Amino acid sequence: MDYRKLGPSGAVVTAYCLGTMTFGAEASEAASHKLLDDYFAWGGNFIDTADVYSAGKSEEIIGRWLKARPTEARQAVVATKGRFPMGNGPNDIGLSRRHLGQALDDSLRRLGIDHIDLYQMHAWDALTPIEETLRFLDDAVRAGKIGYYGFSNYVGWHIAKAAEIAKARGYTRPVTLQPQYNLLVRDIELEIVDACLDAGMGLLPWSPLGGGWLTGKYKRDETPTGATRLGENPNRGSEAYAARNAQERTWAIIETVEEIAKARGVSMAQVALAWTAARPAVTSVILGARTSEQLADNLGAAKLALSEAEMGRLNEISAPQPAAYPYGESGRNQRHRKIEGGR
C-alpha cells in the first residue's frame, strides 16, 4: 500500500483516490456502495466528491454508506467541493461567504458527518474577492467544520495569489490542487505545477485516463460505440473527440502506452495511471471507475512501478509542445541563467 501525505499536511491518504462523480447518475446507489466496498477492501481511504455531482445525490449516497459502515467511516478521508450552482438564486453559486456557508452546511448534512477533511473550491470565482473566500475557509477550519482546504481548476496566478495572501494574513494555507492531468493533457506543467510546488501544495489529478482514451477503447478514425461515454452519448464531447482524434500526438502516445503495457503484461490503464502517480507533486490520483471491474483494473496500477526508461519514453512522447512566447523556446531561454564556468 502506497500512502502519501495530503500535500504539506499531516494527514495520510492512499496514492489512489476514489472519485464519485458517477454516483447517482451512471452508477446506482447499490453499484456505488459496491465500488466503495471494493475500494476500502483494497485498502483505500480517500473519497472525493462534490455538491454538484448528481445535484447532491453523490454526497447523499456516500453519507448513507458511511453511516452503515462505521469502521470504514472512521478511516475515510472525505473530500468534497463547493462553488457551482445548487439553486436558481443569485447567491446559490460562487465562492462568497454567503454561498460557501450554505454549501458547506448542506454538504455536511448530505454526507451525514460533522467534519469534512478536505474542502475544495471547485473553480475560481472572478466576482468574489479572494480575501473573502480565504477568510471563510480559515474560519471553517477554526470552527472544526473542515480540516484542510484546497482548490480545483485554478491556474498559476490564482494559486500564487491565494497562497501568498493566506500566508501574509496568517490564515490556514491551502494544501492541494485538483487539476486535469494525464499523458494527453500536460499543459499544467508549463506553470501550474511549479506554482503548486512553490506553495507546497499537492496535486490530485482528475481524468488521469484522459476520458478513457488511455485505456485503448477508442480506435483511430472510428466512431465510438458500445459501453463508453461517447458511445452511449455521441453528442456529448463529439467535437473534442474529433479534435483529439485528428492529432498525431494522440495516437503516438496511445501506441507507446500500449507497447509498454504489452511488454509488462498489464493493462494500458495501469501504465497511464502509474505514470501520473509518479509525477512530481502528485499526492493521490482520482479514479473515476464506473464498474467494479474497471476499479479492480485501475487499482492494479498500485503494484506497477515503471522503469526510468519507460518513464522517459512516456515523458518524451507526451511532452507539452508550446510554440509561442512565453512558454516556447524563446521564453525558456530568457528565463535560463547559469554561472559561467560554474558547476
Q: Which residues are catalytic?
A: 53
**Running DSSP on this structure, what letter comes out for residue 279?**
S
Residue 195 and residue 94: Cα distance in Å, rounded?
Answer: 23
Residue 287 and residue 290: Cα distance in Å, rounded?
Answer: 9
Q: How far is CA 331 from the centre of its chain?
A: 29
Cβ–Cβ < 8 Å for 151, 182: no
Query: How is residue 325 written as a grid cell?
Result: 512566447
**CA 42-62-151 angle, 5° bins:** 90
Residues 6+ apart with CB under 8 A from 42: 299
Beta strands (DSSP E) in the chain are: 3-5, 12-14, 16-19, 46-48, 77-82, 116-121, 146-152, 176-178, 202-203, 285-287
Sign of CA dihedral 120, 140, 113, 73: positive
Question: With DSSP H G I counted as helix, E B as strand and the rest as coil, what are the percentages for the chain, rounded to 5?
Answer: 50, 15, 40
Residue 57 and residue 235: Cα distance in Å, rounded?
Answer: 25
Query: How is residue 15 written as a grid cell?
Result: 496514492
Cβ–Cβ < 8 Å for 308, 278: no
| 39: amino acid identity, one letter | Y
Residue 71 and residue 41: Cα distance in Å, rounded?
Answer: 12
Residue 208 and residue 287: Cα distance in Å, rounded?
Answer: 7
